[in-house]
Structures are given as C-alpha cells and as structure tokens.
Structure 1
Amino acid sequence: MLKGLIFDLDGVLTNSAVYHLTAWNNLAKELGINLTDDQLDSLRGISRMDSLNLILKYGDQEDKYSEAEKEKFAAEKNTKFVEQVEKMTPADILPGIPELLSDAKKQNLKMVIASASKNAPKILTKLGIMDEFDGIVDPATLHHGKPDPEIYEKAQELAGLNADEVISFEDAQAGVQSIKSAGQFAVGIGDKEVLKEADYIVPTTKELKLSEIESVFNKK
C-alpha cells in the first residue's frame, strides 16, 4: 500500500538542474575542458565533488589538482549556482508538480526530498513549498552518491516507511538506478531510453498524474 513519495529536486520539482549544468560547464571551460552534451548530462543527479571529479576525468586532469584546489573549484561553482537560486520564485516550480503535491496531501502521504544538492532547503524555500515536505535527506550524512541506494534508503527511513510503501521520482539515470537498488518503485521523468530501468516513465512533469502512477504501482 502506498504511504509516501520521495523526490529528487533538480529537474523534478524545479528546473534548477539547468543552473547546475551551466555553472559546471563554465567551470570546465575555465579549466580548459570542453564537455560534450552527453558528458554534461552525466553530471545530473550526482554530488558536487563527484561531478567535479568526473569533469576532471573527462579532461584528463584527474591528478592535476590537490584536494584543497578541488574544494575551491567546487565552492566557486556553488557560489555561481546560488546566485541563480536567489532569483527563483514559485513560478519556477515545474508544470504538474503543484497538482501532484496537492493530490499527495489529500491522501496524507509522507513526502521526503532525496537530493544530492546541499542547497535543497534554500531552493524549496524560494519555491514556497518547504512546508510540504516531512523531511530532507542531509547530503552531508551520506557516504555514497547516486547510483548507490543510500540516499533513497535514508529518505525512506526519514518517512518511517518500507521500500514497498514508497514511490520515488527522478530525472537522471543515476537516480533511477539508486531508487531501484533501494528496492523502491521508480518514476522516471525524461528520455525513456535513458531512464528505461524506471517502473513508470513520462517525458515531462506535466504528464505526472498520481492516480495513474498509483494504478501501476498497485499492480507491481
């Protein structure tokens, strides 16, 4: 029986993912690394330092910088990202999400955020939906990034629920893999080939209908 929903943030509740990717792309260029679209897309859903290390790997610069220098690069990227976040308003909530959250509230479902972003509380506050959620996984408590299941397992624990009682939402391949490794029902938002491991897939958030997702969930 469905008792809770777990959400990634960037690219699921709002379009802040584009701010992340732009900030990473600009940093990569400063380091003399030109990322392909696929390489840039692979940064979706993974932590700050994992993203930076991946960029350095793409540019064959893995051993070029010290940990202190890497921390400085990540901080610079985050500063640029936060500048964009400060401009966010409730108008930046993606289509279909307000209705989904409203339907979930009517069913008294628990709702938790499972995002690798340390800026999740700030973003949710800017969007005006912070109070809709029962908890937010603190990325600082995690030992492994997506696709490891840890973040979704922690989100499930925060909700006080079992794996078969939740539906989790993701827009990134690593995120869907994380959900499935946690034994949960995965809703993928985006390209059906990229997110083919998900149990239910829609091209955009506009097509998210809780009753339809629940119908598929109940048949699993």
Structure 2
Amino acid sequence: MSTFPQAVIFDLDGVLTDTAEFHYLAWKQLGAELGIEVDKALNEQLKGVSRLQSLERILAAAPVPPVLTAEEMEHLAAKKNAHYTALIASVTPNDILPGIAALLQELRAAGLKLAVGSASRNAPFVLERLGLDSAFDYVVDAGRIQRGKPDPETFTNAADHLKVPYESCIGVEDAAAGVEAIKRAGMFAVGIGSAQTLRQADYLVTATELLSAEHILAAYSRWIDKA
C-alpha cells in the first residue's frame, strides 16, 4: 500500500475562507422574521450541515416549533440563501484564509488531485469570488448529495469522481460533522480547530496558517503505515 496520498478534499467554510459570519447573519435575519432568536450557540449547531438541516434545527428551537410542508421549508431555505448570496457578493481573493493559497500550491506541486466537498450549494460562486475556481479538479455538487455530513457521501462522491481509493484521500475540515464524515469514508482527517471539538481528527492544527503540505503528508504516511 502506498504511503503517499493521491487526493485532498477540502471543506469550504472555515477552511478555504470564512463565510461563517455571513451564514450566521443570514440565518439570524430569517430567524427574526420567524420570531426565532438565532444566537451564537444555536449557530454552532448549524456548522457543517446542509441548508435544510440547519433550517430544521432553527425551527426546532422555536418556543412552539411550526409544522411546515416541504414546499414551505424550501421557500424559507431559498429566502435564507438570497440573504447569504447578497452578503457573499463582497468576497474577494483577500478573503482566502491565511496559508491556504500556499498549501494548495504545495499540494499541486506534489502531484495531488484537489477537490472541494462542501455542504454549500454556493461553493462554485464563492470559489469564483475567491479566484480559486481553477484551483480544483472537482467541486462536489451539494444539490446532488442525498445525505449531508456527518454521512460520508460528500467525500466519497469526490473520491469516486477523481477515481481515487478512499484510503488514498485526505479530507480537511473545521467542523465535527465534517471530520466524522471523513473518518466514516475511511480517509485521513485533517482538522482545523480545537482538540475537544475535533476529537476524531488524525492530524490537528488550531488555525489554517499552521497547515503545511510537508507535515500533512508525513502524518498521512504514519497513519497509512498503521492501517
């Protein structure tokens, strides 16, 4: 078994750029329209999950959770996305998180395939705004994913498209649901955040600027040797 990986699959929000605050503001605005307070604690529960799953968690936080049809749910989710899309229109290449541009170059120079596996249906638009739309070999279409994170489908979809065995993939995430998805896919998990939150990560840093291809590849090699 090769001790060198073939592909790296990145989450978007909190990994390549930080649009989390835009998500929060958009959900907060929708919540206010529904009479539901979306505070920071509730917002933490929305990270890494799909738009409809996020909406379900917000509605469940209401004093009297409303019972809505699938059509009504889709309407509210689209309304939130309209808020969010207006906010992210201001994103520029300056919003790429520290260290990420250099990391992508290092991984590409090492011959690895690169993909984005995000729950966001806006990923292509955000990547274009960041100037990273040509940096990746594949971007998972979140609209075609049947089961969101922590289900592994997002990551296995990317690996299948790239024709890379799952154990030869590295996933990079900042959310617990995302790290769980990577591990359930049988991949090597790089976590960005706290050890308490990302306990399942195989390799952990506290911030993106601490990521380096050399250290990630060395950690992957040790991991695969033990497999």
* Shorter-chain TM-score above 0.5: yes
In structure 2, the gaps of 5 or more residues are: none
- Alignment partner of 1:52 out of 51, 55, 59: 55
Report the alpha carbon displacement of residue 24 of structure 1 after superposing the two structures with TM.
1.0
1:175-199 CA distances to partner (integer Å, 9 max, x unpaired)? 1111110011111111221111111
Does the alignment pair 1:73 with 2:76?
Answer: yes
TM-score where L is the length of structure 1: 0.96
- Alignment partner of 1:197 out of 172, 176, 200: 200
Q: Could you tell me which residue of structure 1 aligns to residue 118 of structure 2?
A: 115
Q: Could you tell me which residue of structure 1 aligns to residue 13 of structure 2?
A: 10
Distance between the aligned counterparts of 2:6 and 2:63, measured in 1? 46
Distance between the aligned counterparts of 2:190 and 2:166, measured in 1? 14
TM-score where L is the length of structure 2: 0.93
Q: Residue 121 of structure 2 aligns to which amino acid in structure 1?
A: K
Report the alpha carbon displacement of residue 38 of structure 1 after superposing the two structures with TM.
2.6
* Paired residues for 1:141-220 under 5 Å: 141-220=144-223
Report the alpha carbon displacement of residue 21 of structure 1 after superposing the two structures with TM.
1.8
Q: More displaced, 93-102 or 37-46?
A: 37-46
Does the alignment pair 1:94 with 2:97?
Answer: yes
1:2-36 CA distances to partner (integer Å, 9 max, x unpaired)? 11100010110001122112211221222122234
Q: Could you tell me which residue of structure 2 aligns to residue 126 of structure 1?
A: 129
Report the alpha carbon displacement of residue 60 of structure 1 after superposing the two structures with TM.
5.0
Q: Could you tell me which residue of structure 2 aligns to residue 23 of structure 1?
A: 26
Structure 1 residues 61 and 121: alpha-carbon distance in aligned structure 2, compared to 1, 3 A threshold: farther
Distance between the aligned counterparts of 1:185 and 1:215, measured in 2? 12
In structure 1, the gaps of 5 or more residues are: none
Preserved contact between residue 88 and residue 126 of structure 1 (Cα < 8 Å): yes
Distance between the aligned counterparts of 2:32 and 2:115, measured in 1? 35
Query: How many residue pairs end up in the alignment?
Result: 220
SS of the residue 1:131 aligns to = coil
Report the alpha carbon displacement of residue 61 of structure 1 after superposing the two structures with TM.
4.8
Distance between the aligned counterparts of 1:191 and 1:35, measured in 2? 23
Q: More displaced, 24-33 or 107-116?
A: 24-33
Preserved contact between residue 112 and residue 158 of structure 1 (Cα < 8 Å): no
Report the alpha carbon displacement of residue 44 of structure 1 after superposing the two structures with TM.
0.7
Distance between the aligned counterparts of 2:189 and 2:157, measured in 1? 16
Report the alpha carbon displacement of residue 65 of structure 1 after superposing the two structures with TM.
2.3
1:143-167 CA distances to partner (integer Å, 9 max, x unpaired)? 1111011111101112210111111
Q: Residue 33 of structure 2 aligns to which amino acid in structure 1?
A: E
Distance between the aligned counterparts of 1:180 and 1:25, measured in 2? 31
Aligned CA RMSD, in angstroms, stands at: 1.2
Distance between the aligned counterparts of 2:70 and 2:204, measured in 1? 39
